[in-house]
Amino acid sequence: MVGIGVHFCGYDKPLMTNIDNHPAGSFCWIELHTSDQPAAKSFYSALFGWEAHDNPMGPNGFYTMFKLQGRHAAAGCTLRPDESSHGVPPHWMIYIKVDSADAAAAKAKQLGGKVLAPAFDVMDAGRMAVVQDPTGATFCVWQVKKDTGIGIASVHGTLCWADLSTPDVKRASDFYSGVFGWQVAADPKDPSGYLHIKNGEHFIGGVPPSKYRQPGTPPHWLAYFLVDDVDASASKAKGMGANLFLPPMTVEGVGRMSVIADPQGAVFAIFKSAR
């Protein structure tokens, strides 16, 4: 995360609250996979002000839709038995909007990725596939039918950015550019080597240099949520049983941030812009 550039959390974009549609290539959904869904609901509702709405999913499970101001902000579910049996820890899963889930999965495979779950319909909400990039980070692609995804932004508790932690920055950058048409490049004014991800006209995320990765950490996407006060939110999270992987810190000219593991172990970041 060190060396984050001036376009962090997309604040080159006009402030907006309601989102009715996401452009292809953007982060359109964020989903928590956890070992204790009721506990996670309580934690995130208290931290971000989310309202939890449960929907039946299968014979014994349920899918939680988190809302802010009546609009979808995120979702959560319990880790599947096959995930748990393979040692998959609680985590946040990033979804990327595509015009065709089938075509995106095929392109990802062609460029060296692994399709963990071929494209399938999620009732009438949309069509999706689960993909692992060539360096090991996992994400989903989402083709909209009735559900357009996240419906709110630029307020406390909303997704604002995502960083890719990878041991092979060049290979990962080439892969995502090939699949989604992203521009992945350094800011000439930023000597850190941090790469910015630009989708169309908008900066949406970044790729920190691999030298900043913790040894032994699997490749992954790290989601950032906007908050009104990083210190207060980090303190509140810690008081509810979370661990602060990175205590609140200031990135000069950019903003203040912290990296947190929720009580079940899912890792995310919080951010407030300096502007």
Query: What ranges do the domains of the chain cover?
Result: 1-275
Superfamily of the domain at 1-275: 2,3-Dihydroxybiphenyl 1,2-Dioxygenase, domain 1 (3.10.180.10)
CB count in 10 Å sphere of residue 206? 25
Q: Confidence band (pLDDT; 50, 70, 90) for 5?
A: very low
227-272 residue pLDDT tens? 999 999 999 999 999 999 999 999 888 899 999 999 999 999 999 9
Q: 72 near 149, Cβ under 8 Å?
A: yes
pLDDT tens for 36-91 read: 999 999 999 999 999 999 998 877 789 999 999 999 999 999 998 888 888 889 99
Q: What are residue 192's DSSP bridge partners?
A: none
The tokens for 28 are 């359109």
Instruction: Write down the pLDDT at residue 15.
Output: 52
User: Amino acid identity, residue 271?
Assistant: F
Token couple for 64 = 């939680």
**Beta strand pairing call for 71-78 and 61-68:** antiparallel
Phi, psi of 237 (to 5 degrees): -60, -45
Single out the residue of 63, 70, 75 nearest to residue 28, CA to CA: 75
For residues 271 and 23, the answer to whether their CB atoms sit within 8 Å is no
Spacing of C-alpha 26 from chain mean position? 11
Residue 18 is predicted with a pLDDT of 86
Instruction: Give the residue among 246, 250, 252 at the shortest CA–CA distance from 268.
Output: 246
Cβ count near 216 (within 10 Å): 5
